[in-house]
Structure 1
Amino acid sequence: MSALPFSKISAPLNALLAATGLVAVAALTTPDLTGRTRLVLEVLLAGIWAVYLLQLIETLVSQRAREVRKRMPVIAVDVLAVLVPMAAFLFVGTRDQILYCAVWLLKPLRDSTYLRVLVRVLTNEARNLIGVTSIFVTVLFGAALVAYIIERDVQPDKFGSIPQAMWWAVVTLSTTGYGDVVPQSLAARILAGLVMMSGIGIFALWAGILATGFYQEVRRQDFVRNWQLVAAVPLFQKLGSAALVEIVRSLRPRVVPAGAVICRKGEAGDQMFFIVEGRVSVATANPVELGPGSFFGEMALISGEPRSATVSAATAVSLLSLHSVDFQVLSSSSPEIADIIRKTAAERGGAIPKS
């Protein structure tokens, strides 16, 4: 069954509807609104809720059973966006009904690729994150316990129990320092300094783990995308996986819009290009077009001479670029590829000595 209109609401429109609804919720908490303005805002919220209801119904109707399981996180957000405000209208007091529309904060995230990347990073780094969190909890409870022992007689109103001392430990360990609870004794102040330094180290560990996780995830996605692009070039299809890995690491993807100049005649050539999709026009005495699987720019790369022709994108074109340094590496690891490139260069521009 084909998708219905409301099930295909774009991510930007979902975000716009959610933002409009949240602005209306914020405005409705203003006490001096006129009755007419309040009614308009409430009707606006009802309209947004109706759009989300239609979106949910049509999504469920248009999805096949196996697709529903795959899109379960998205559908779960759509269900919450509909059921939470409806439950609030039925069971919550009139004053707070609109506040439950704040669940629409989730709507812009339902189609977010960044959220999916974050989930994968948290999943991959869960063991390390849990380890650092256990250190945080240990330091937190230990600091609260020691502070309770030292300060309970000095400030019984603020350190009279471990739960009270734990608030101070949280504020100090996070280096927030509200100043509402301040240790008085010298021992407690020394403890506070140690707790602050521990907090800096723990938060640095968290940040480092997440940064490393994001870097690895982005590199993994880039590698997969580049692998798919490289595998689409006929020149590389007969290579083994080890050779392909080296080439994937060397080649850089690039998308050029139609009409754009890729390289100009007379320029120094420091890279060559492989065409994955689209066509390019080579401005020679007899202009030619090259399509998917072809390559160009190799003559200047091999001979070191300036570009012999201007090449522009006849259509939107997806390219893989290979820099001169990486070409030398490719020549060593995959001499058969380098030989094909040299032979093609010789056919196009006369005999070129092998380097």
Structure 2
Amino acid sequence: MVETILVFPAGLPDAQRFRAQAQARGARVIGASSLGFDAAAADYEAWETLPYVHEDGFAQALGEAVRRCGVQAVFSPHEVVSGVLADVLETVAPGVRLIAPNPALATERDYEALTARAEDCESRWFALSDGQPPLTTIERAGLLRLLDTIPGMSDLDKAAALIGAMRHAPEGDVVEIGSWWGRSAALLVMLARRWDIGSVLCVDPWANSHLDQGVAVLDQASARISAEAAFRIFQINLAPLAGGRLNYLRAPSTEAAQAYRPGLTVRTDTFGTTAYEGRISLLHIDGNHAYENVAADAEAWVPRVKPGGWIVFDDYVWAFGDGPRRVGDAWLERLGDKVALAFVIGTALFVKLTP
């Protein structure tokens, strides 16, 4: 049975988000407003005009609308309206449920949970004594809230480790191989700006022809997604954050490496002009995970990492193969006594070079 939901007031941003999610689940969503004209009406399958909640006749009009439209549930993102609905709904429309009452309280609880996550994200285990002043809990919470708005695979453990690594990174460029929607790039640029480390360079071809990783189930999934859409999403996510400290090279990693040099300047329409030192403070390798591709990425970029810098092999622990692990292990052996510290957290291998 299709559920019918009344959203009131229906033009608020949270109301529109709820509408889109409910419609995606197959619900019939009816909008309502007290305005004489509300442009949001065009987004709903049906529309009701109700008195303001403080006006006489609101409760009666609400009950009539619920019965007329066959409403089973009501949602309001407005704290005042939600409170009135909680008071009158059972009387005027018995059995109709109020979705997510007390939205302000729910927001407060969300931020309490976010603060708890930020406290868990503090890298107390990072056994390095030097480095930049640590982020406050409020700063970490703000970063995590930002990451929550960007889709991607980076989890809390990896975020904590990247925060710790960037705090103990030398000045230089931050290079990411494989940025896709920009989740980890957002974290890196915010940290690079916070500690004035350097500029972030995102390297990704954003092309479906480069998504084949030699694993049938992954390649089938890749065939259903659009690299061009991912490139647009990346720009949308990073445009407000870059601040002149982030840009991209849309090219395979090995081609981009040929352009990377001291004094490099990259200009794009979205991010403007960004200058690079040409030596890497932190290298995040998260491109195509087929062994040959990871090996080529590392060969092209690891030698550019400065003494004291970091190399992060993402998905060192990978459910679909061992390409990143084989390459990471080979570079640990190859670097030998140049490795000051190496550890695996979550699914990533972090390697810090000696100063």
TM-score by length of 1: 0.28
| Greater fraction helix | 1
| Greater fraction strand | 2
> Quick check: which has more Rg, 1 or 2?
1
